[in-house]
Structure 1
Amino acid sequence: MPSNKRQGFILTRNWRDTPAGTEIEYWLATDSGPLKVLLTAQTSVAFVEIRHKAAVQATLVGMSDVQLRELELRNFQQEPVFGVYAKHFRQLGRLARSLQPLGISLLEADVRPHERYLMERFITAGVRLEGGRIENSTLVDCKLLPAPDFRPALKVVSLDIETSQHQDLYSIALDGMVERVVFMLGEPSSTPVPPPDFALIYCPTRKSMIGKLNEWFARNDPDVIIGWSVIQFDLRVLQKTADDCATPLLLGRERKPIAWRTHPGKQGYLFAPMAGRVVIDGIEALRAAVWSFPSFSLENVSQELLGEGKYIGDDYDKMAEIERRYQEDKPALAVYNIRDCELVLRIFEKAKLLQFAMERAHTTGLQIDHFGGSIAAFSHHYLPRMHRLGYVAPNVGDVQGKSSPGGYVMDSKPGFYDSVVVLDYKSLYPSIIRTFLVDPVGLAEGEHASDPERLIKGPRATLFSREKHCLPEIVTTLWRARDEAKRVRNEPLSQALKLVMNSFAGVLGASECRFFNPDLISAITLRGHEMVKVTRDFVEKRGYEAIYGDTDSIFIWLKRTHTNAEAHAVAAELARDINAWWTQTLREEQDLESFLEIEFDTHYKKFFMPTIRGSDVGSKKRYAGLSIDAAGKEAMVYRGLEMARSDWTPLARQFQEGLLSRIFQGAPYREFVMEYAHATLAGKKDDLLIYRKRLRHRLDAYVANVPPQVRAARIADEYNVRMERPMQYQNGGWIQYVMTHNGPEPLEIRRSRIDYEHYLTKQIKPIADSILLPLGEDFTTLTSSQQELF
């Protein structure tokens, strides 16, 4: 393929200082296989205000590899700056630390070379390669250009291991490529077994298992490793096993080891960067793509997404069964092992997680396995554009202050309603940025403008330039790309663009961001407050009533029962008129083009807004409704109610759903309440009584306040010790327990009778009364005659 046509997708990126200068390394996936790109002798740059030039020059005495250059750039205070160019990137760090006692900031010195190279060329994930030379299969000193449309087919392997309860390695499964295999510790059974549809290779020692694994990776050469807790468990155990065997674990390309790093803010959380390969954990990918599950265990997610799983018992039964299979039936253990790999592959396919990760990389400029990083994504887009407008960025912490108010939440009007429609502002914060030109550079220009009359006036007396800004153009580009992605039904790209675009407002309000400024984020959120209030006044002048509003949505009671067609027509008319009002008002008052767009979201045939428990004040972010779409299809909708919170058992959640659905549908509900209470007291709903709570701290950290889940966990681990099993809960995790007459007891060792009165008074009654009291009834009255029987 001609070099000027060669394209690649960036898998990994790195930098290192060498005697010749800073060296940047990219590993690419191309249509013709993996390619390593090396850029040598790269110069690193930072910036300092010109008024500090003499002090910087004095500090640089003896550092001949650092040069100062005059530039046509300035900081946000309009002070001119000069460039500091270093042969080695680490020199900038040393210089920054030397200047710190003098009160001098070295601006942008923390932007790493491999990131700056990409961002200044507007490259995200796809690259086009020009020129360069081949040295030992490496493309050296070529030119990288953006290739935003390049999407290679990545080679993916799903990895899973099985261990003893003490994490002694038993087997390693690899699936997703032609060579499907399980490496099993031990000797094959003498009993004939049917041949599996994968290779089952027995290894006499764990050291030989690691060696076989290294050879498999070198031979099959995958681009992406996927799994379930694959870094925090599988790779960690493999590394420990390799270390214990005094043998290297060489899973990176060019047979390089994992360059383990710890997370600075999460104790015990690890990163596993490796040359040329990325590791994508299924749990993190699902969360990044905004999937939500009560539990992210592989069993639960596969059951919910695929309708099947791998279940062989609870945590203890499972470990016992794994141990039995290892001792008595190794082929069965191999089948179980590779089954996990299969499920992960199918979940990735079903949820389009790999496509989402690739599109997110194309959208953010971050490495494909980097699922956080909203601040880094913002900087990737923003820095090169602000440089071209003549500005350099501040450092983190240069601006102090409290962040702004969050989204506006109206006081709700509790009760039951017929015919409620919801109008929703499309991408509210991005649309405010586009309309009112909210921007860091724009604010810097506005603060120092000689003619404030031409500026855009924002909340808190902020002023923004009409001509100089970056963020509105960035948002507009992402907005249009999302519209195109939706048009061609590229859901992973549409989702990635939406998440990145909507994260920008939060980034400006994050003190960890170099662009943090309370005035900037307030210019967005307070404008949103104003918009919801204006919209409320608008609809109430039309004779309707706003009963609730939350950030970008407003809930409108139409005051009487409407047919579905009538409600949809009213909502469409309101949305059209509100949008027209914004267009005219902003053009006349500030000569601005409006990108604000409210749209019809939902018609609730029936709607319920509860009160805050124990008061008559309406709740916030909690409601339920019977929605009905344009085709007449009905669906129950619950937001923020007990059924979505871990404080409540399945018993409470099922009760709440059953009661509300009967009231909304006009079905008898009193009998349901009485029968549900009766069945609970009679022990017919015992499978719904389980609390599942998270232990957020070490068990020994709970001293003064010991909640029920901690008491249950301590009982469970005391039992584990007696049974000579590993303790499960000392460092946190999830515990399942029930309430008994002797208090909370874990499922592992429940000995006492269930306290049904607890469930009746603490779980069912509060939910029942929140729904029944607005109807003039209460739980005690409905059930008192029945309770006397028990």
Structure 2
Amino acid sequence: MQQGFLLSRHSQDIDTQQGVCSQIELWLATTQGPVKLQIMGEKPLFFIQQIDAAQAKPLLAKQGIEFEYKSLGLKSFEQQPIGAFYFPTISAHYKAQRVLKKHNIVLFEDDIRLENRYLIERFIQGSLSYIGDSQLSLGHQVIRQAKVKPSEFKPQLSTLSLDIECSMQGELYSIALQGLGVRRVLMIGDAEQWGDSQEFAIKAQGAQPRLDICWVADEKALLLALELHITQLDPDVIIGWNVVNFDFRLLVKRMALYGLTLKLGRGHSAMTWRDNKSAPSQGFVTLPGRVVVDGIDALKTATYQFDSFSLEFVAQALLGRGKKIEDVSNRGEHITHDFLHNKLKLAEYNLEDCQLVSDIFEHTQILDFLILRSQLTGLELDRIGGSVAAFTNVYLPKLHRAGYIAPNLPKGGGLASPGGYVMNSLPGLYKNVLVLDFKSLYPSIIRTFKIDPMGLIEGLLTPEQAIEGFKGGYFSRDKHFLPDIISELWRQRDQAKRDKDAPRSQAIKILMNSFYGVLGSGGCRFYDTRLASSITMRGHQIMQQTAKWIEAQGYKVIYGDTDSTFVWLEGDISPSQAADIGNSLADMINQNWQQTLRDDFALDCYLELEFETHFQRFLMPTIRGSEAGSKKRYAGTVNKNGKIQTVFKGLETVRSDWTELAKEFQTTLYEKVFNDEDVQDYVQKVVTQTLNGERDQQLVYRKRLRQKLSDYVKNVPPHVKAARIADDENTKRHLPLQYDKKAWVKYVLTTQGAQPINYQTANFDYQHYIDKQLKPIADGILPFVGQSFERIIDRQLSLF
């Protein structure tokens, strides 16, 4: 058998000599090049309670829908016998759904697409082996009547980075392509005007690579040139930045303008576009035989976090360099100017955006991560999020073989389950605080207490023999799948760590940690409040008992959060002594849980507490305006590789909506307090510099518009007011609107209120920044060292 990696999947009805039937097409990347598998005659199906079959059959027959019905040895979670309706075509399957739902007949698993069910039931996730009748066609191999099974094939996918430049009105100027040995820009323009040669040299990172320009006459020719280049280069994956919802969305619009259908898929298949009904600003692009992967979505899927996901910001953060343009905030105007007056400069800028995306992909190994995620879960490479689908792909075939079909989504979205444990904190400025973390607490609870959808159903049948959960849940000791799935993933992650395989380790971690959220989500067919509650409430119990055992040893627990316990070691203790105590406490807790679970539940314990961090100094602040301790907000100093670093959690310095003034002030002030330095001179200095205008560059707020400007009616916050001022001024100056759609707004607070930074007319309201930025930060820590912000600055303010 040959092997390949799944790039795209699709099913449709086709005409044959024997009549209309369904056909599944699977495009693969293989070591021999692209391969298309064709599987004909697979029958779409859905399940139904056997008791409803007598009513359903005549309804379908009356509509002339061809079907086959079978009573199966399956049952629902309500223990009702189940049958299945099979259909010769996808269209008949959809029509039957509409007919039966109209008559309020409940269907099960009717939303699973034919190609997905085909793969799921064969345990195929990402890679597969195949055999069938082979023939060559248009640069690829076609395998007819293919048969498939799982494999562990590791692909080497070819990638091409794509970026489009256009006018503010969406008129195409150029398209850059980078990868597969090519650095090329397709540009509208006259080669004779810009030089006879189609090449010119540019400098990039000290080298002298060549940049090819392919000149075309107009926009239509540009689109056709793109089709030709994609066909010739033949990439497996096209990457870019917001490449789906900007670049490809724009291509679709410009194609429609000229009545074109671009054949950007393999085998000269057409590109298709589908709008996202639940999110109008989002859409889906399909290129059969290829995958389009957006860098923003990919990084978010891998849990990367940035203050901004603009290419400029992410490139600077990860690579230390950004776009080749003088003013990124006004790049639209610069791009049009360069297109008219300096096309070579525009080409260089266009291509550098492609290069930045490629370098980000390489730096983060994000494509490796997506490949591994696909091989673990069966998710498509370009699938955004997909935790629910991943769980379904992994769990459903096991459930069917155990004699059950999956339930439907809960009506009304389900009830919320209790969240993670958060202890009331003891505010204060401390020395020597240890953090003890449970390793993957929720997955550990699932393994230990056998939390599982089918296990819940089986446990409720014989509660006297089951493991008691919460909210009426009982779990079978031996009939379950999720604990074993977690155990296998855990084993694979430990191996990935030993192999220093970061993408694989991260993919497994995200998958394991998503299982709790899936079981507590009303968007998952396996949702049951008894499942999620038996995880989180067990977590509460574990955290509370752990704190009691620690305090019984004479130590004070000052805070607990989800899976972390914060322990104060009173007195002068060296770092090595603190580590010894931390490891000793962790060993004691682990032994106690092993004994407790063995004695009380007759269960093996998979809970594992680890000594994680030693804070040499630690601040747990109060809630503003209260003496009560805060939650999920703290700061402290740790020794990392011999260097003392300050760590902030949930405080202003890690929040994107506070000014740079506030962030610098908090970082320096806290470091001084932690180092037992006098803070009075520093506070006075920052206040004086602010009032004197020496800190003006640090007074900019940055906040995101979550809605269109026109949607803000009753509540109009400062950043919205600033955005409206900016776009009013843009209109007066006949400039493109910046904020009519969602965007980031940079603004300052002036004596006349919020104003955008590019249209500031009034003086800064310095008192606002002192009262709303500096004072809250100072008040969060100064009282713990017997100081007061008001007392420190009273003398200064009297001078202004």
Q: TM-score by structure 1 length? A: 0.96
Instruction: Tell me: CA distance 1:401–1:203, structure 2 relative to 1, closer, same or farther (3 Å).
Output: closer
| Alignment correspondent of 1:690 | 700
| Alignment correspondent of 1:511 | 522
Whole-angstrom CA distance in 2 between matches of 1:377 and 1:191 = 52
Contact kept, 8 Å, 2:252 with 2:273, in 1: the verdict is no
The reply to whether residue 550 of structure 1 matches residue 561 of structure 2 is: yes
Whole-angstrom CA distance in 2 between matches of 1:661 and 1:249 = 59
Deviations 1:141-190 (A, max 9, x none): 22111113x22211101001111222221111000122321011111364
The reply to whether residue 621 of structure 1 matches residue 628 of structure 2 is: no
The correspondence of residues 659-698 of structure 1 with structure 2, limited to 5 A, is 659-698=669-708
Deviation at 1:57, TM superposition (A): 2.3
Deviation at 1:397, TM superposition (A): 2.4
Whole-angstrom CA distance in 1 between matches of 2:79 and 2:413 = 19
Contact kept, 8 Å, 1:414 with 1:609, in 2: the verdict is yes
**2:61 counterpart SS class:** coil
Percent identical pairs in the alignment equals: 43
Whole-angstrom CA distance in 1 between matches of 2:191 and 2:764 = 48
Whole-angstrom CA distance in 2 between matches of 1:398 and 1:519 = 16
**1:200 counterpart SS class:** strand
Deviation at 1:124, TM superposition (A): 0.5
Whole-angstrom CA distance in 2 between matches of 1:385 and 1:712 = 55
The one-letter code of the counterpart of 2:12 is: R
306-315 or 578-587: which moved more?
Answer: 306-315
| Alignment correspondent of 1:127 | 128
The one-letter code of the counterpart of 1:514 is: R
Instruction: Tell me: CA distance 1:70–1:246, structure 2 relative to 1, closer, same or farther (3 Å).
Output: closer
The reply to whether residue 46 of structure 1 matches residue 59 of structure 2 is: no
Instruction: Tell me: CA distance 1:780–1:493, structure 2 relative to 1, closer, same or farther (3 Å).
Output: same
Deviations 1:79-114 (A, max 9, x none): 211222221234333333333354421111111111
**2:122 counterpart SS class:** coil
- Number of residue pairs matched? 782
The correspondence of residues 433-582 of structure 1 with structure 2, limited to 5 A, is 433-449=446-462, 452-582=463-593
Whole-angstrom CA distance in 2 between matches of 1:396 and 1:21 = 30
Contact kept, 8 Å, 2:325 with 2:331, in 1: the verdict is yes
Deviations 1:523-563 (A, max 9, x none): 11111111111111111111111111111111111122321
Whole-angstrom CA distance in 2 between matches of 1:725 and 1:401 = 48
**2:653 counterpart SS class:** helix
Whole-angstrom CA distance in 2 between matches of 1:666 and 1:370 = 51
The reply to whether residue 772 of structure 1 matches residue 772 of structure 2 is: no
Deviations 1:312-357 (A, max 9, x none): 2445542332222212221111111101111111011001111111
| Alignment correspondent of 1:143 | 147
Whole-angstrom CA distance in 1 between matches of 2:573 and 2:69 = 72
Deviations 1:103-134 (A, max 9, x none): 42111111111111111111110001133443
Contact kept, 8 Å, 1:22 with 1:41, in 2: the verdict is yes
**1:479 counterpart SS class:** helix
| Alignment correspondent of 1:584 | 595
Whole-angstrom CA distance in 1 between matches of 2:482 and 2:412 = 19
Pick from 392, 401, 410: which aligns with 1:388? 401
Whole-angstrom CA distance in 2 between matches of 1:304 and 1:316 = 17
Instruction: Tell me: CA distance 1:400–1:723, structure 2 relative to 1, closer, same or farther (3 Å).
Output: closer
Whole-angstrom CA distance in 2 between matches of 1:65 and 1:440 = 34
Contact kept, 8 Å, 1:602 with 1:628, in 2: the verdict is no
Deviation at 1:632, TM superposition (A): 3.9
The reply to whether residue 429 of structure 1 matches residue 442 of structure 2 is: yes
Pick from 205, 218, 236: which aligns with 1:223? 236
Whole-angstrom CA distance in 2 between matches of 1:552 and 1:146 = 37
| Alignment correspondent of 1:650 | 660
761-770 or 192-201: which moved more?
Answer: 192-201
Q: 5+ unaligned residues in a row in structure 1: which ranges?
A: none
Deviation at 1:669, TM superposition (A): 1.9
Pick from 757, 767, 791: which aligns with 1:781? 791
| Alignment correspondent of 2:155 | 152
Deviations 1:410-436 (A, max 9, x none): 111111111011111111111111110
| Alignment correspondent of 2:200 | 195
Deviation at 1:401, TM superposition (A): 4.3
The one-letter code of the counterpart of 2:280 is: Q
Whole-angstrom CA distance in 2 between matches of 1:210 and 1:406 = 51
For the aligned residue pairs, the C-alpha RMSD in angstroms reads 1.7
502-511 or 258-267: which moved more?
Answer: 258-267
| Alignment correspondent of 1:282 | 295
Whole-angstrom CA distance in 2 between matches of 1:191 and 1:79 = 75
Contact kept, 8 Å, 2:618 with 2:635, in 1: the verdict is yes
Instruction: Tell me: CA distance 1:59–1:561, structure 2 relative to 1, closer, same or farther (3 Å).
Output: farther
| Alignment correspondent of 2:94 | 93
Instruction: Tell me: CA distance 1:90–1:562, structure 2 relative to 1, closer, same or farther (3 Å).
Output: farther
Deviation at 1:749, TM superposition (A): 0.9
Whole-angstrom CA distance in 1 between matches of 2:471 and 2:283 = 42
Deviation at 1:586, TM superposition (A): 0.8
383-392 or 163-172: which moved more?
Answer: 163-172
**2:795 counterpart SS class:** helix
Whole-angstrom CA distance in 2 between matches of 1:461 and 1:21 = 47
The one-letter code of the counterpart of 2:763 is: R
The one-letter code of the counterpart of 1:95 is: A
| Alignment correspondent of 1:23 | 23
Whole-angstrom CA distance in 2 between matches of 1:94 and 1:493 = 42
**1:472 counterpart SS class:** helix
497-506 or 104-113: which moved more?
Answer: 104-113
| Alignment correspondent of 2:207 | none
Contact kept, 8 Å, 1:439 with 1:470, in 2: the verdict is yes
The one-letter code of the counterpart of 1:8 is: G
Deviation at 1:61, TM superposition (A): 2.1
Whole-angstrom CA distance in 1 between matches of 2:126 and 2:31 = 15
Instruction: Tell me: CA distance 1:190–1:67, structure 2 relative to 1, closer, same or farther (3 Å).
Output: closer
The reply to whether residue 323 of structure 1 matches residue 324 of structure 2 is: no
Instruction: Tell me: CA distance 1:189–1:615, structure 2 relative to 1, closer, same or farther (3 Å).
Output: farther
Deviations 1:464-522 (A, max 9, x none): 11121111111112111111111111111110111011101111111111111111111
The one-letter code of the counterpart of 1:669 is: V
Whole-angstrom CA distance in 2 between matches of 1:570 and 1:267 = 55
Q: TM-score by structure 2 length? A: 0.95
The reply to whether residue 109 of structure 1 matches residue 122 of structure 2 is: no
| Alignment correspondent of 2:613 | 602
Whole-angstrom CA distance in 2 between matches of 1:252 and 1:672 = 62
Pick from 662, 687, 703: which aligns with 2:713? 703
Deviation at 1:675, TM superposition (A): 0.8
Q: 5+ unaligned residues in a row in structure 2: which ranges?
A: 202-209
The one-letter code of the counterpart of 2:145 is: D
Contact kept, 8 Å, 2:442 with 2:513, in 1: the verdict is yes
Whole-angstrom CA distance in 2 between matches of 1:217 and 1:491 = 32
Instruction: Tell me: CA distance 1:375–1:158, structure 2 relative to 1, closer, same or farther (3 Å).
Output: same
Whole-angstrom CA distance in 1 between matches of 2:581 and 2:221 = 72
Contact kept, 8 Å, 2:325 with 2:349, in 1: the verdict is no
Pick from 734, 751, 766: which aligns with 1:724? 734
**1:512 counterpart SS class:** coil
Instruction: Tell me: CA distance 1:700–1:486, structure 2 relative to 1, closer, same or farther (3 Å).
Output: same
Deviations 1:701-751 (A, max 9, x none): 222221111110111001111111111111221110111111111012111
Deviations 1:255-306 (A, max 9, x none): 2232211223212211112111111111111111111111111111111111
The one-letter code of the counterpart of 2:5 is: F
Contact kept, 8 Å, 1:399 with 1:516, in 2: the verdict is no
Contact kept, 8 Å, 1:400 with 1:517, in 2: the verdict is no
